[in-house]
Amino acid sequence: MQQKLQLPIYLDNNATTPVDPGVLQAMLPYFTQHFGNAASRNHSFGWIAEEAVIIAREQIASLLGATAEEVIFTSGATEAVNLAIKGVYETYSSKGKHIITCVTEHKAVLDTCRHLERSGASVTYLPVDRHGIIDLNALEQSIQKDTILIAVMFANNETGVIQPVETIGRIAKEKAVLFFSDATQAVGKIPMNVEKNGIDLLCLSAHKIYGPKGAGALYVRRKDPRVRLTAQIDGGGHEKGMRSGTLNVPGIVALGKACALCEQRMDEETIRLSMLRNKLEAGLTAIEEVNINGGNVLRLPNVTNLSFSGIKSNRLLTEISKTIAVSSGSACTSANPEASHVLKAMDVRDTLARNSIRFGLGRFTTEEEIAYTISTVTQIVASLRK
């Protein structure tokens, strides 16, 4: 059945996603009927909440190929990134103070590394090639005796480019360095397995996978090796002492359900979203001088980053956003007129990097919306170039 097109169209699913009705339904009873504190051991209100948290841990672990005990709940990916990087640094800094990361990481990772540099860490920021992929030789060469952590994202939030995570994991293992991957954009979109990928720490966020804002998790390996972290939030000793604070039970239930839905639907959604994304790319690259950033390597199925030569993204965005919600890059930096650090690192010319728009498709994106986007953007580009 054809759905009537509703405006505005939402194509900014890498910034955040709407909550799936199934996720909302799962979490609602935990606000009212089952409002107990999951740490309350003396009554059924607590037991019911605790049981729901146990199920959510299992759902998340299943999506990652981890075990339930390895899932630590946080308020989102930013907090999980901070816990992973600062937590490793504070625990292992007697062994070494060197961290390796990559220039195209999200600000959550880059700013956390900068913070640690101010307290004595030395950080190597690996460059990327023009496709946005890190140089594996440079990675190997930059590992030193005092390297304690490699932090490289699974997939980029601006371009969707997927890093060679399995190889990075293997290199990290060979050199006995811990490997943290920010998988905020990749979780639920592409298959992942922390064993196969050799990952020791990995973060995710509910609001990127059709769950609510304010819930996330950090996977922390418990075996081969057992990773130890210094807590960044002290208190009642929740989450094995790694993250104190009363658990956000509705958010956690929602995160678990969101992961379960992603796991169930991944194959079908990958086919549908890559078909729609390819259609969008074919339609928009039919316009003269439109380039796909990161288009020649493995990418997430739902995102495309396009440079429209000769038109500043601000002007393009002003016009497009009358009916279509897109962005020029990450939401956290959307108020910043600077060219994207990700595109600059990929050697996209500064002018072109300022002409780039990210289109992020999602579970609720329809064919009609893609057709509308192609024709609207084509018209806008033609009139702005006149």
Ligand X SMILES: Cc1ncc(COP(=O)(O)O)c(C=O)c1O
- The answer to whether the CB of 97 falls within 8 A of the CB of 121 is yes
Collapsing DSSP to helix, strand or coil, 219 comes out as strand
Taking CB under 6 A as the binding criterion, the range among 73-81, 234-242, 302-310, 361-369 that sits at the site for ligand X is: 73-81
Collapsing DSSP to helix, strand or coil, 72 comes out as strand
For residue 380, the minimal CB distance to ligand X (Å) is: 26
For residue 14, the minimal CB distance to ligand X (Å) is: 6
For residue 141, the minimal CB distance to ligand X (Å) is: 26
205 binds ligand X per the rule CB under 6 A? yes
Taking CB under 6 A as the binding criterion, the range among 159-167, 178-186, 250-258, 356-364 that sits at the site for ligand X is: 178-186
358 binds ligand X per the rule CB under 6 A? no
Q: What amino acid occupies position 328?
A: S
Angle (CA) 258-264-268 rounded to 5° is 115
Selected from 13, 124, 184, 197, the binder of ligand X by CB under 6 A is 184
* Residues designated as active site: 332
Q: What would the DSSP string read from start to end of 299-318?
A: B-TTEEEEEETTS-HHHHHH
Other C-beta atoms within 10 Å of 182: how many? 31
Nearer to ligand X, 155 or 377 (CB): 155
Tokens of 211: 């769950």
Selected from 76, 132, 160, 169, the binder of ligand X by CB under 6 A is 76
Selected from 157, 307, 313, 327, the binder of ligand X by CB under 6 A is 157
Tokens of 59: 């759902």
Taking CB under 6 A as the binding criterion, the range among 76-84, 226-234, 277-285, 307-315 that sits at the site for ligand X is: 76-84
Taking CB under 6 A as the binding criterion, the range among 43-51, 127-135, 181-189, 259-267 that sits at the site for ligand X is: 181-189
Nearer to ligand X, 114 or 349 (CB): 114
Q: What amino acid occupies position 138?
A: A
124 binds ligand X per the rule CB under 6 A? no
- The answer to whether the CB of 139 falls within 8 A of the CB of 150 is yes
Provide the H-helix boundaries in 98-238.
107-118, 136-142, 165-174
211 binds ligand X per the rule CB under 6 A? no
Taking CB under 6 A as the binding criterion, the range among 168-176, 182-190, 227-235, 242-250 that sits at the site for ligand X is: 182-190
For residue 144, the minimal CB distance to ligand X (Å) is: 26
Specify which residues 122 forms β-bridges with. Answer: 98
Tokens of 243: 């993250």
Task: Quote the CA–CA distance of 283 and 64 in Å, as a whole number.
Answer: 35
182 binds ligand X per the rule CB under 6 A? yes
Closest CA to 41 of 56, 51, 28, 55: 51
For residue 94, the minimal CB distance to ligand X (Å) is: 28
Nearer to ligand X, 184 or 305 (CB): 184
197 binds ligand X per the rule CB under 6 A? no
Nearer to ligand X, 51 or 111 (CB): 111
For residue 382, the minimal CB distance to ligand X (Å) is: 32
Sign of CA dihedral 31, 37, 38, 43: negative
For residue 4, the minimal CB distance to ligand X (Å) is: 31
77 binds ligand X per the rule CB under 6 A? yes
Task: Quote the CA–CA distance of 262 and 184 in Å, as a whole number.
Answer: 13
Q: What amino acid occupies position 178?
A: L
Task: Quote the CA–CA distance of 240 and 230 in Å, as a whole number.
Answer: 11
329 binds ligand X per the rule CB under 6 A? no
Tokens of 102: 């990559």
- Residues in contact with ligand X by the rule CB under 6 A: 76-78, 106, 108, 153, 157, 182, 184-185, 205, 216, 330-331
